[in-house]
Amino acid sequence: MTELRIAIVGFGKIARDQHVAAIAATPGATLAAIASRNASLPDLPHFATIEELLSKGPPIDAVSLCTPPQVRRAQAASALAAGKHVMLEKPPGVSVSELDPLIAQAERSKRTLFATWHSRYAPAVEPAREWLAARRISSVHISWKEDVRVWHPGQTWIWQPGGLGVFDPGINALSILTRIMPRPVFVTAATLSFPSNCEAPIAADLTLADATGLPITAEFDFRQTGPQSWDVIVETDGGRMTLSGGGRRMAVDGKVLSEAPDAEYRELYHRFVELAATGAADVDLSPFRLVADAFMLGKRTIVEPFVD
């Protein structure tokens, strides 16, 4: 099998912590170069920008865009125009509407565009989806609370327009929700808490439903300093199903039915290699649309300034 030669564009915390090891562990994939203004890896070709990578870099087949979402559309368009497959870290862009031209460009060029939702690849998500398919669901509650200073230290882009604020982790919960629910869901109301010195929310409370009126609530908070929570709780006629640890553990009425170590990014790259073999696309925008709707419908409140 021919190796998919991948360049990482944007070499921040998530690229260092997750992408490098995942590529190394994926059969059929190899890390060929880095494009970043501020970081590099020993013994790998390094370029300051994607333009420099594409014009002067070694032969590559694909790019993995780990830059802030505000700049990904232009980078993806350049890579597709150069005949490269493209993986987009989540969220896939800065707006929903900017993705349609990229999807069309990928289709015309017969190159893969892969909008990734890494939390969907957490090990207990598929067992949860299969279990729920045979149950009658009465309610869903999401609690997704973490300390931004731990998970996004010094990342000012997250507080800028398009950075999403607390929806950067919250969209992970919505990606799980839209995968495990048997019917599409939509936002009916939201309250968004904006620090007085930021352009993105630090907390959000969402009310959602499906076409049957199923009650769904979600609490997102970036101010959690105690135990972190990444939980989806579903009340059903077969008991309370809890997905915890960001989708790594599934339990019903306290009995663990599925649990495994994290392999989310390894699974993402396995899927990327699979897609690139045929030039197929995988771009599900349903979690992103829920975030956009929360911003559209959300009541905004101003809270204390955020100091990193």
Closest CA to 282 of 291, 294, 269, 266: 269
Contact of 248 with 121, CB cutoff 8 Å = no
Q: 3-class SS at 216?
A: strand
Q: In angstroms, rounded to a whole number, what is the distance separating the alpha carbons of residues 72 and 267? A: 22
Q: What is the 8-class DSSP label of residue 282?
A: B
Contacts of 104 (CB under 8 A, 6+ apart): none
Q: In angstroms, rounded to a whole number, what is the distance separating the alpha carbons of residues 306 and 308? A: 6
For residue 31, which phi and psi values (nearest 5 degrees)?
-85, 120
Q: Is position 299 annotated as part of the catalytic site?
A: no
Q: E-assigned strands of 36-84?
A: 46-47, 62-65
Contact of 215 with 170, CB cutoff 8 Å = no
Contact of 10 with 65, CB cutoff 8 Å = yes
Q: Looking at 13, 56, 84, 90, which residue is catalytic?
A: 90
Output the six-digit token pair for 109.
């060029």
Percentages of the chain per state (helix, strand, coil), in multiples of 5: 35, 30, 35
Give catalytic residue positions: 90
